[in-house]
Amino acid sequence: MGSPSFSLCVYCGSRPGVDTAFAKAALTVGQWIGERGGRLVYGGGRNGLMGLVADATLAAGGTVLGIIPQALVEREWAHTACTELVVVNTMHERKQRMADAADAFVALPGGIGTFEEFFEAWTWRQLGYHDKPVGLLNVAGYYDSLSAFLAQTVASGFMNDWQMDLIRVGCDPYHLLPALVQDAGLSPAARTELM
């Protein structure tokens, strides 16, 4: 298998959530990555949305790089079917390795870990530690309240519009994912294949 056409880092829950739309979105994202010859970069777990997006990527012909700390191998049930599963010592190392391996980032529904990873990728972009696209997939209105709160932070003077412009928020993975990967600076030929 040749090198992937792109690497997309997906942050998402290690639980499935209560709305079946969350699982459907994870499967759609994984299938989209795999069908386009891409590589999923994610936290290496097999439970919840994490496992679904990995399984869907593999089933659609993509590759999967899972990165998981040793302390979470049993708690998150490391996904041994990953194309490559890297076990690291700390969460900091996990997040740095994921960021280094990715061309772009997207957060699906999830809990506190997903929030933390999304905000860190966004913060690192704001500070110039990377210039990779960062997206938020708002499945079934899951992130509506967060989006409203972020607008409030701008109105309250704690953020500026240019910081909001550093992220893409969308409800449709078939629009959001190509935009993120294209923003990553792929060649025109590769961009055509993503649509």
Which CATH number characterizes residue 26's domain? Answer: 3.40.50.450
**Dihedral angle sign, alpha carbons of residues 59, 192, 104, 164:** negative
* pLDDT for 190 beyond 80: no
Q: Is residue 192 part of a domain?
A: no
Asked whether residue 171 is domain-assigned, the answer is: yes
- Nearest alpha-carbon partner for 87 in 107, 66, 103, 102: 66
Q: pLDDT tens for residues 7-53?
A: 999 999 999 999 999 999 999 999 999 999 999 999 999 999 999 99
Range of the domain at 143: 7-185
Cα separation, 178 vs 165, whole angstroms = 17
Does pLDDT of 194 surpass 60? no
Count CB-CB contacts under 10 A for residue 192: 10
What is the total count of domains within the chain?
A: 1
Indicate whether 2 belongs to any domain.
Answer: no
Q: Compute the residue count for the chain.
A: 195
Residue 194 lies in a domain: no
- Is residue 104 domain-resident? yes
Q: Is residue 89 part of a domain?
A: yes
